Structure 1
């Protein structure tokens, strides 16, 4: 068995970065700022950025502009310092490494953004560059699922792994649909990322977990 992890959500807590982008996108507007917990709950329920803008008191035109701005702001380089490593990641990686389980990252982050996080959280011990599959720095995503699918296929081919013997752990519809298209053996949804448990249940992954450490029991380690 091999394991493929999405990065943001399963491994990295991005709530502060996304909330900062939300606040920045409303700067200068007469708005009713949503608390972080409310904002993140809306994101997890797949409420659109446009609707979030309207709920924050923006006009329809302001909400459209805010929504467009937030797409770029959420991936603004200086905001990546707000990300946090989930508490169970290092222990889980240690266990996987000790058992000889191959694991790797496939993400829609750009290369420099991923490299920054690997150094920021001192993950080089577990994930050398050949096990990292980000997008090129100048790439602009046009179809999340299709591009994630291509990355997933490319990853197992480059690593010489059998897709059917590889499990993918992700927090979104992109990960689940792309994993199925790439014919990965098991699809695991994790509820602490960008989608709620209820949203992930609709997608019918093989397993649904709340945190990364549950992988160890699923794989009988």
Structure 2
């Protein structure tokens, strides 16, 4: 099995590309989706988050707006939040890998692959990338997004140029969906050949 780490900065189109891998029959582990489950109603991380960041949860799980405000207000808070979430996500990732061990190729969709050290757990890396102008337009079109929040998010992420330099594959998303899908198909074919599948 070849494990492909899929990453990209905010607004680069990583979720769209992950869906293209899944549509092509490649098992995809979505780290963000696992975080949402951990923080949702009856989520396994809710009690620990409430203990560390009081008044950020309810019966509905974590209030992401309140948690974001608590984390942004404290420079050490993001590391404390990661210490709660990362081990739980790692357990889910290992279960996914065991469940798909017969597949020639799997994708680990991890937004902070480089920043959180996840690159050490994959065989190859694909970075989803678009121009800074396209990225900014996509992100600022999101409900509730502000230029200041966008800049704060970017400050916590490795620059796109560095991600591309460290990648085995760069998947461009600034053109048409079909152009991106063609690159995804090429990456799958290349890696399946390498895996012998």
TM-score of the aligned structures, taking structure 2 as reference length:
0.38
The answer to which structure has the higher helix fraction is 2
* Structure with the larger RCO, 1 or 2 (CA within 8 Å, 6+ apart): 2
